[in-house]
Structure 1
Amino acid sequence: MADAPRLAAYEVLRAVRVDDAYANLALAQVLRDQRLTGRDAGFATELAAGTLRGLGLYDAVIDACLDRGKVKPRVRDVLRLGAHQLLAMRVPAHAAVSATVDLARTRTGAPSAGLVNAVLRRVGEHDLAGWVDRVAPDAAADPIGHLAVAHSHPRWVVAELASSLGDRAEELSDLLAADNDPPEVVLVARPGRSDPSELPGEPTAFSPYGVRMSEGDPRAVPAVAEGRAGVQDEGSQLVAVAAAAAPLEGRDERWLDLCAGPGGKAALLAALAAQRGARLVANEVQPHRADLVRRALAAAEGVEEVTTYDGRRPPWAAGSFDRVLVDAPCSGLGALRRRPEARWRRQRADLADLVPLQRALLDSALDLVRPGGVVLYATCSPVLAETAEVVADLTGRGELEPVSLEVPDAAGPIPDTIQLWPHRHATDAMFAAQVRRSAG
């Protein structure tokens, strides 16, 4: 029988491939179902997530080791798991091969075990750098293609990230490498309900409410279990902080999170609103994500209601809000550390649908905010089509103003905007632009 952590990792890969599951949700479910904790859960997590990050490179290596061109998808999943152990984990080669052969017998049938054994022995003949030299395009002749294979990103993603870096394209390799680093767990102390000193770990560099956990299960932290704190990337925290920080003249009583799912930013915004006597409306068009928002806000003060309207056509009157956050649906290419499967699912063609949606949501937000009020537009993507190109032309409806965040080396692609980066700030690659609605 295969051991439980490898079985769990295989089930995650299968759920992602067959059911289009989100890896983090599939992993959490599998760990619960198989009652894995501690080191076993950690091994299964690194094996599943690391394999999904390295999928492109591992497939190229596997193809180079096959006598015949194709294997069944479930056998390929087993081979991918074996390749990750051999090339990127501290698992002795004999143990990686033997345990993965056992996994093949258990999950893909005895006839596949010989193939898995033979291919993995060939994989083990070279280390990761040696395989990159063998399977990646020549770096001088095709630099984008080389980086795409070496860092296991689709070629179009590498090209978009290179454009987003602009005149700092020499950082591209560092950015791609950072995408492949497992992210630290970051906690947020919701102001007025908890304090960062309650949370285990080191304070975050930029968010006054964040703490980086070095080890342990965040669900075991009392403030998290009680909903007074939560798990939230520092970049996401900073977006909520910026949305609340812009100076306003006149009333500051009613705030809107137009695209609130799954609720992390809304929970922090609600806490900040409560401290000022303001109220937050949290809107999320998808009912199942709206349920997640309700759960995140269940014990929060400062909440007016959770709604499920299409943010492009909401029912509120023009000028109903003093502040609006538009954390727009996007490609998610800024969160590849935490969503290892996303790089293989997204296509460049997706931008043709996403960008008009982003423009429409920003337009709607500018209708909903009062004259003199502020809209913060944010995406978890550095892709220029989703960031600079969405906010560059406001056609007289508002003025870009500097985002109220003091984060070094975070200038955005156009003046007054902010762009965070995994390799510079250890955050998701969040973009933020602040727009003050014109009085006219």
Structure 2
Amino acid sequence: MTDRYDLVIRSRRAVLPGGERPAAVAVRDGRIAAIEDAAAPLAAAAETDLGDVALLPGLVDTHVHINEPGRTEWEGFDTATRAAAAGGVTTLVDMPLNSLPPTTTAANLEVKRDAARGAVFVDVGFWGGAIPGNVPDLRGLHERGAFGFKCFTADSGVPEFPPLSPAEQRAAFAEIAALDGLVIVHAEDPAILTDPDGGDYPAFLASRPPSAERAAVERVIAIAAETGVRAHILHLSAADCLEPLAEARAAGLRVSAETCPHYLTLSDEDVPGPTSTAYKCCPPIRGAANRDALWQGLADGVLTCVVTDHSPCTADLKAGDFATAWGGVSSLQLGLSAVWTAARARGHGLRDVVRWMAEGPAALAGLTGRKGAIAVGADADLTAFDPDRAHTVDPAALHHRNPVTPYAGRTLTGLVQATWLRGAPVDLAAPPRGELLARPGTETL
């Protein structure tokens, strides 16, 4: 007992890189200083014994639309990061849209950072954007610490963030490859997408078929092979895409993909009717057999991340039917519980969930070693999660600015009890203490 730690957290279910076991996690100066047996005598200024409540690393969500500044009425840094902390997420990376201005230049990245500074309850990094005509801006974004570059192959839904044509993709991918950067792609082929023939869910689903995703994914893979860029497919919905992705990875291409809680836990049969637009997202939630295949893609390692694609808007934009409502699912606070509920039913353990929702996203963002794992030297970002606690989702209890969710009224299993950010409990009644992150290798600003 010669060492004195700032904090020791004990749990009979600590989820470590080597598996789940009883452990005592010791924290000093905001980092994990030691991991010992659960009963090890450790001197500390403070100690917490979680008993059978699981201790997880803080989750890393690399796909979040915060929308501030410019559309802060949709969501904002304060509300989004409150929801993140309440859901066990301690690090997130913000998308370059739907804020105004979009994060497509170094100057616009500073606007985004200025809006976030002093307002975040968890650590926050930023993606840059690749849009037509901004290839000369990509290097500046990279040098200022953007984690990578998002682009669309089809309409993004907002006019200030247009999609890239195949020729524009080649130009952007080549520049990003020259920077040894990362491109993340919303992949749907606009030539296959159609306008919905009606306002109900079947019409919307038919307007965005799996073939639209597969064609766009195959094109991204082909351009990645030409340019050598590292490419990541966002929010994969269509299981038809798993085959070309697996082939690309087997061929040694630096291509990866993610999926989202709503694709893993919901199906088209769950949509109650034409005004149940909380379920609308692009690409869409598909059938149960497709959902099963996505789970297999996770088990096989073709899909490496589960992230929320938290894409909120005001309630009025969700009004109407599936032909007119905004497309986006809000689940930042609920992702862990939703995924664990379904994963446990399929025979997966907490170690699998941590791999998909913490380690995988941390690796995507280049944060391995600092975030996403309970490991000596890592930031002491931790989550106390009761894996057996059932709860019914009440939108009024969510911290999202606009708590519209397809999970309303659903009973989920697993509830976050507490989160720690760099060894200190996240207190939503206290001033926020999250930090702004930059891509490793650049200065944190």
Does the pair score TM above 0.5? Answer: no
Structure 1 length normalisation: TM-score?
0.28
Which structure's relative contact order is higher, taking Cα pairs within 8 Å and 6+ residues apart?
A: 2
Which structure has greater strand proportion?
Answer: 2
Which structure has greater helix proportion?
Answer: 1
- Which structure: larger Rg? 1
